Structure 1
Amino acid sequence: MQIIWYGHSCFLIKTSSGKRILLDPFKIDINSNASFPKCDLITLSHTHFNHSYINKNNTDTKIINTEGYFDMNFAKTYGINAYHDKLLGLKRGKNIIFILKIDNYTFCHLGDLGHIPDDTILDKLQGIDILFIPIGGKFTLDGYEASKLCELILPKYIIPMQYRTLDSSIPLDDLEKFIFSNKYINKINSSSLDTNILTSKYQSNIILMNICKLN
């Protein structure tokens, strides 16, 4: 199975059977013709433009943007209601946390989570293999809060997302707070991660990826 990071909170998961699952797609550039590939499933954590862009290749793709359980055969998906802020959604609205069971892996994509979840939600976030977590602050958890949440969830692997990079146009924090809170981090020189080599290659459970540039 392959994981590709397109930047921001957007990931593509390619299953062993060739299915494509796209998480929180965004408009790459208003003047760009670059677009995401045709996918079999898209999950949207919320409706803000930088998490819910559906390009022309995916106008008839199955989209999940609500809480609840969905079985697509190649992916079992569970959406959990949470919030984009610390005020129960009063400032920025709701945010769906998605748990996806794919190829014997359990993924969790936190979307634009803006608060530490309560125990009811945390109980549902146990047994996660790969956690996609926002760390850039401003609109979501910052690096310190993200580190605290990782300690509560204890996933096998952590992939930070939604933070300031060289190409960022959104005023987010960079990696500093998150790195300061975590001693062992793997920086891979790739925008693609093969899950088959996770246990053999990476001794630390935090993995920093490069951004894949769409043509």
Structure 2
Amino acid sequence: MKVIFFSHSTCMLEIHDKLLLIDPFFSGNPIFRNTNFLNFFQKIDYILLTHAHYDHVCDVELFSHKFNNILVISNYEISNYFNKKGIKTYGMNYGSFISFPFGKLKYVWAAHSSAFYDGTYGGNPGGFLLHTDEGNLYISGDTSVIYEMSIIPSFGNLKLSILPIGGKYTMDVEEALIASDFLKCEKILGVHYDTFEDIKINKKQAKRKFFEKGKELILLEKGKTIHV
């Protein structure tokens, strides 16, 4: 499995021949200033949306117009919102694993809020637990540390967890460390930091805090890749 980090919480997963884009935030992103970002992509099969905030959903329609066969996967309310715009969607909620060609996906808990830019209710915020034949991955979405994370390892060991670390709106570095204990996961990809002034972090210090606990905090530059 390949994970490409673009910036903020936007990542892409490559699982065999399937490409999954997570929480696309390019056009309004102060870090990603290239207005031709759509040209970087030759194919996208799925878009996964953790919640309805602008910095996670703003480019869904742009991608869906370029790639007509994209399937948007999110909670029931977000899926309905985009389905009414003519976009193919798959709605789910906190429940069982659902099988897709790339693996099994489960929508899981997050402690946050969820509303579209126009004020439309975005349903319950969440994250995704992804089980594949290449390993298991947890995408927390925007959240505080919550005790429900401790349930996640009971479904299977995690190779990687993607956690926000910027603080203020989500977990900070110290809380992400607690989350990694709940998750029994030693390798964390940090997201949702440095995009805006109020979520800037000391990256060297953050990585050291994880290292001192025998864990790895991965902080990728824009467009860089890791293999899981």
Question: Which TM class, normalised by the smaller chain length?
Answer: 0.7 to 0.9
CA contact (8 A) 1:77 1:100 kept: yes
Say if 1:94 and 1:83 are closer, same or farther in 2 by CA, change over 3 A. farther
| Corresponding residue of 1:13 | 13
Q: CA deviation digits over 1:11-52, x for unaligned, max 9?
A: 11112x321011111133478131262311111000111111
Say if 1:58 and 1:79 are closer, same or farther in 2 by CA, change over 3 A. farther
| Corresponding residue of 1:4 | 4
Equivalence map 1:87-166=2 (5 Å): 94-113=124-143, 115-119=144-148, 121-126=149-154, 127-164=157-194
Write the distance in 2 (CA, Å) between the matches of 1:102 and 1:57. 27
Structure holding more helix per residue: 2
CA contact (8 A) 1:83 1:93 kept: no
Write the distance in 2 (CA, Å) between the matches of 1:59 and 1:175. 41
| Corresponding residue of 2:21 | 22
TM-superposed deviation, 1:175: 3.6
| Corresponding residue of 2:36 | 33
Supply the AA of the counterpart residue of 1:57.
K
TM-superposed deviation, 1:107: 0.6
| Corresponding residue of 2:55 | 50
CA contact (8 A) 1:163 1:175 kept: no
Percent of aligned pairs sharing the same letter: 24
CA contact (8 A) 1:135 1:175 kept: no
TM-score computed with the length of structure 1 as normaliser: 0.74
Write the distance in 1 (CA, Å) between the matches of 2:192 and 2:212. 20
- The Cα RMSD (Å) is 2.7
Corresponding residue SS for 2:168: coil
Unaligned runs of 5+ in 2: 76-92, 114-121
**Which residue of the other structure, out of 174, 177, 180, is the alignment partner of 2:201?**
174
Equivalence map 1:57-76=2 (5 Å): 57-66=66-75, 67=93, 68=95, 69-76=97-104
Count how many residue pairs are aligned between Structure 1 and Structure 2. 184
Unaligned runs of 5+ in 1: 86-91, 186-202
TM-score computed with the length of structure 2 as normaliser: 0.70
Write the distance in 1 (CA, Å) between the matches of 2:127 and 2:112. 10
| Corresponding residue of 1:191 | none
CA contact (8 A) 1:147 1:178 kept: no
CA contact (8 A) 2:129 2:139 kept: yes
Write the distance in 1 (CA, Å) between the matches of 2:202 and 2:103. 31
CA contact (8 A) 1:142 1:173 kept: no
Supply the AA of the counterpart residue of 1:41.
Y
Write the distance in 1 (CA, Å) between the matches of 2:105 and 2:126. 12
CA contact (8 A) 2:186 2:215 kept: no
